[in-house]
Amino acid sequence: MLKAILDFILPPHCSVCSNLLASKEKAVCENCFNSISVIVPPFCERCGSPGDAVCNDCILHPHKFTRARAIGKYTDILRDLVLLFKYRRKISIGRKLGTLLGKIIQNDELLAKADAIIPVPLYPVAKRVRGYNQSEILCTEISTLTNIPTITGVLLQKRPTKPQKSIGSPESSLDEQREKRKLNVKDAFKVKKNERVKGKKLILVDDVCTTGATLDECAGELYNAGASDVYAAVVARAV
């Protein structure tokens, strides 16, 4: 009732283009959401960046995860949507992004066969401050669409880390940033209840992948705990 009155006095607008929202739309209009530039083949078979076969970056700096997929690049509308979801509490945008990522997983020959998905964890204090872990919201939608179950409470963050995008000045070289980001997340994660991941093919889920250091660190822990294969699925890739 209160929402109906509020919607009448202050009709909801699209958080991106400011146009009035239709009754079924939440936070973002269909027009804006459908303008996301989705990565289509060909893309690197390891990291999922646009290009052929295995990209140079993956040859020079091999990842621990065997394959990663992303909706698109961390630019334009996709960047706006991630920021609204992560820092402005627009959970409904996260749900839509989760469904879109779920479709990408469903159509990927390897990821579609995974046994479970695992959200990249937040340090408990960081989660309390934000009120939610954005990766867990993505996982809920992915599981609903794909029927691949989500495993939570197994991969944990055991010490605080800085946001990866804040590491390394924009002028520093990519190699320098890569090293600093690796150090930022080194030994920051642990797996408890190894038996829940042992022998399983897993998909790590996160919002943004920068150099892949966080995903590599988490993948390493899951392999140590006995996972048979670790893939990754992210909303956006920064490089």
Cα–Cα distance measured from residue 142 to residue 216, given in angstroms and rounded to the nearest whole number: 21
C-beta closer to Zn ion: residue 17 or 125:
17
Among 39, 58, 203, 205, binds Zn ion (CB under 5 A): 58
44 is a site residue for Zn ion (CB under 5 A): yes
- Complex with Zn ion: residue 44 or 225, whichever CB lies closer: 44
Strand partners, 229: 201
Instruction: List the one residue from 27, 36, 39, 47 that touches Zn ion (CB under 5 A).
Output: 47
Within 5-24, which residues bind Zn ion (CB under 5 A)?
A: 14, 16-17
- β partners of residue 230: 202
Nearer to Zn ion (CB atom), residue 46 or residue 178 = 46
- The two tokens of residue 58 are 């993956």
Q: Please tell me whether residue 33 adopts helix, strand or coil conformation.
A: helix
Helix ranges (H only) for 72-122 are 76-87, 91-106
Decide if residue 236 touches Zn ion (CB under 5 A).
no
Task: Work out whether 215 is an interface residue with Zn ion (CB under 5 A).
Answer: no
Instruction: Say if strands 189-191 and 116-119 run parallel, antiparallel, or are unpaired.
Output: unpaired
Determine if residue 71 is left, alpha or beta; phi over 0 gives left, psi from -120 to 50 gives alpha, anything else beta: alpha
Q: Does 91 bind Zn ion (CB under 5 A)?
A: no
Contact footprint for Zn ion (CB under 5 A):
14, 16-17, 29, 32, 44, 46-47, 55, 58
